[in-house]
Amino acid sequence: MDIKHLVDTGQELQFYTSALWKRERAKVLDLDKHECQLCKQRGKYTRAVIVHHVKHLRDRPDLALCVFDPESGERQLVSLCRACHEEQHPERFNQHQPKKPITEERW
């Protein structure tokens, strides 16, 4: 599977539904005991439901299936709850906000 090609052509969904990703995702969730790693750092327990790419898939498709970044040794894939994942991707949340009009309407 050419992950870079999928990302370049906007077909990330094909990657996220692949057996390769599902297998790696399950490994990461097991590694983290299905606990959100950001909540855990904050001293609380929340069940993780998402595996997050620390270095975004679009920026580093070469790290798409790496639990650890081979260059830095830091975690690349971490388990997160939905709220913490949204916190890590504010750009996804903001795209659904209503836009202000270009000019103010006056009556």
Over its length of 107 residues, how does the chain's per-residue pLDDT go in tens digits? 899 999 999 999 999 999 999 999 999 999 999 999 999 999 999 999 999 999 999 999 999 999 999 999 999 999 999 999 999 887 665 544 555 555 666 65
Q: Do 81 and 36 contact (CB within 8 A), yes or no?
A: yes
Domain ranges of the chain: 3-90
Listed as own residue / partner, the contacts of 60-63 with beta carbons closer than 8 Å and 24 or more positions apart are 61/3, 61/4, 61/6, 61/7, 62/3, 62/4
What pLDDT is stored for residue 98 in this prediction? 55
H or E stretch covering 26: helix 19-31
What's the pTM? 0.79
